[in-house]
Structure 1
């Protein structure tokens, strides 16, 4: 019995690593730096290398919330078994891998969520309707909010109504304020996360005003630094700001997407004493491997096939992407980075009068998103039912 259990755990871990590789190659590994590659701020290969490292760090420092949600909150009344986790992960990873090699960004959150729910219902579990409502709300709003904000910011940056230099500095300050309030595992007590603003603000002795004061200070420092940099070298400063945003989105991708790969393992590995942080490290390594070996193909597809992007439109796409990603991480909601980034790229692309936006590619992508959710749910339910019957 011990040998069988150990073998099952090994297979489950291998399925999780396969899922992590697929995500690293397709979603977290390709989307964060795609706008920067489209704007010629960084090469495809270098983007794959950098995003892998940042994704690993994000997985370790921010991955716990989404991991717990995927592992324990998508289905009620039952706990995922090792066999259920294997079926869900292999089903989802296979669909994502097909998208990677076909050049279409399959939404990993859709496939994993669909597969886990399908498997859970096949086990006799109950639908977790409140969680589904949270997830559906974010998924539906993401294209409109992300694309809309990207469109508005891009129109403002490329227009003549406001001066570009102070506007860019204000946007950078907003990003700094968001970053100051991002939770990190290293800053919080065991099993929790805390932000820089919360930690530093608590030591100011001004009560609840401490965190907002720190946030404003960070925003001001970032805005002044970017404003000064733009004054010295406008094009170089834009490129550096763009690369910094790509890095922040890549870090956020690791914190969000690792949960899709290792979440189903939490119930079974916790029973044998494996801590969540160990799973996060393993999942982060899988993301890193996927980013380094498979991401360049998808980076090229997203950066060139959806819209023609310059530095200002790329910055406009990454700012809302970073904000949406961190919102999802904070609330423990699995979200597709392909949906976030592609929607923002299309929104920013339309700001230039529809220049370069591929409607055909976008239509196929939306169909792929819907198909991946429905297909993963159906395959998870059917495959687990067949395996359970055979066993």
Structure 2
């Protein structure tokens, strides 16, 4: 039997988690995926907010386990997050993110949540998880350079006169399809294991391997890529603008789905030690927690995302369809990499870096350097501020309680 006081504390922690999920849905996961598409006039702001909410919810449920467990268990060593620490950390991060949403500046959610969780964990007496920190910092530092470079190169390719768009765009679609065929889903694998569509189909085929590579998996991946590329080639042959616009919207949907799989862990990760495993006060399946976090993202996307979508689409760069495609492809790839390795990542950092890269492919037209400088300072400051506030707030609350 769970004590009434313990149950009340867990309820407050759950409400703080939902508030964090709303703030993330209104900010990074709700605004960034379709910002380039809105900037290219491929979809309206309100419709983008509605679609991204649904896709983010699906991503949270189907792909959210890795990052959720990492945020809950891997950021601090030797001191499991308590209910009070979870409440303090989540509220600290959510307030910072909400301030960014209403001020019109995209605060990096992964920075604030990671900083807040580490802060309260250190205040609990835990030790830094240096190995995990190295993974996180490596991805955070690499993201602007990798994402911006790929976006720049892709935008240059699409602008090149010697390569017809009806060939270049379907080729890129085929590469994206190959990635989609190999992203993991919890529903395709055995319990506790994610499996890709290509892996699931290959498992049903006769096993044939060469140099340790499953030829069935290769064949399925290539077939999926070719089918998608040919379908888009046919579409663009009939109407090039319509085919390009459809590909852009599909990319936005894939990024929205990936955002849900990554960002939900930032909201509900601190609850994991409280709701499952040895010593937890109550036992709730992770899938149920993911559904709750996904609903929080959905609510945030529907109620608060339009403001940030407008800010990213109009304030950062004047995007056309080609530059939008160039921005979304690396965003999707980096997001899925983070999901696969269970690394909390900022979607604002991913998408803004890609927007800048695609913008400079056109000579930097429309890119606001001043806005970029403020954004980078906000990213760095949010990490340090969240860590300090999380540590100090928990020490103060613990002394009183």
**Unmatched runs of 5 consecutive residues or more in structure 1:** none
CA distance in 2, matches of 1:23, 1:129: 26
Partner of residue 356, structure 1: 366
Which residue of the partner structure matches residue 389 of structure 1?
A: 399
Secondary structure of 1:28 counterpart: helix
How far apart, CA to CA, are the structure 1 residues paired with 2:258 and 2:268? 16
Number of residue pairs aligned between Structure 1 and Structure 2: 391
Aligned match of 1:136: 137
Q: In the aligned structure 1, how far is the partner of 2:371 from the partner of 2:217?
A: 43
Q: 1:343 is matched with which residue: 327, 348, 353?
A: 353
Structure 1 residue runs of 4 or more that deviate by more than 6 Å after TM superposition: none
Please show how residues 170-189 of structure 1 align to structure 2 within 5 Å: 170-189=171-190
1:100 CA displacement: 0.1
Aligned partners of 2:230, 2:397: CA distance in 1, in Å?
60
For residues 240 and 155 of structure 2, the distance between their equivalents in structure 1, rounded to whole angstroms, comes to 17
Q: Distance in 1 between matches of 2:82 and 2:132?
A: 21
Tell me the TM-score normalized by structure 2: 0.97
1:223 to 219, 229, 232: 229
1:299 aligns with 2:300: no
Deviation track 1:27-46 (CA, whole Å, cap 9, x = no partner) reads 10000000000000000000
Alignment partner of 1:246 is 2:252 = yes
2:269 to 258, 263, 271: 263
Greater mean deviation of Cα atoms: 89-98 or 270-279: 270-279
TM-fit CA distance, 1:161: 3.1
Matches of residues 29-108 of structure 1 in structure 2 within 5 Å? Answer: 29-108=30-109
CA deviation after TM superposition for structure 1 residue 118, in Å: 0.6
Q: C-alpha separation between the residues in 1 aligned to 2:264 and 2:216?
A: 32
Deviates more, 1:163-172 or 1:369-378: 163-172
Report the TM-score, using the length of structure 1 for normalisation. Answer: 0.99
Question: Partner residue of 2:3?
Answer: 2
Corresponding residue number in structure 1 for 2:240: 234
* Runs (5+) with no aligned partner, structure 2: 209-213
Note the C-alpha offset of 1:210: 1.7
* SS of residue paired to 2:31: coil
CA deviation string 1:92-146 (max 9, x = no partner): 0000000000000000000000000011011110100010000000000000000
Cα distance per residue 1:219-252 (max 9 Å; x no partner): 1111111111110110011110000000000000
User: Structure 1 residue 206: deviation in Å?
Assistant: 3.1
Task: Tell me how large the CA RMSD over aligned residues is.
Answer: 0.7
Give distance in 2, aligned partners of 1:212 and 1:75. Answer: 39
- 1:386, distance to aligned residue in structure 2 (A): 0.9
Name the SS of the counterpart of 2:307 in structure 1: helix
Instruction: Render the CA deviation track for 1:42-77: whole Å, top value 9, x for unaligned.
Output: 000000000000000000000000000000000001
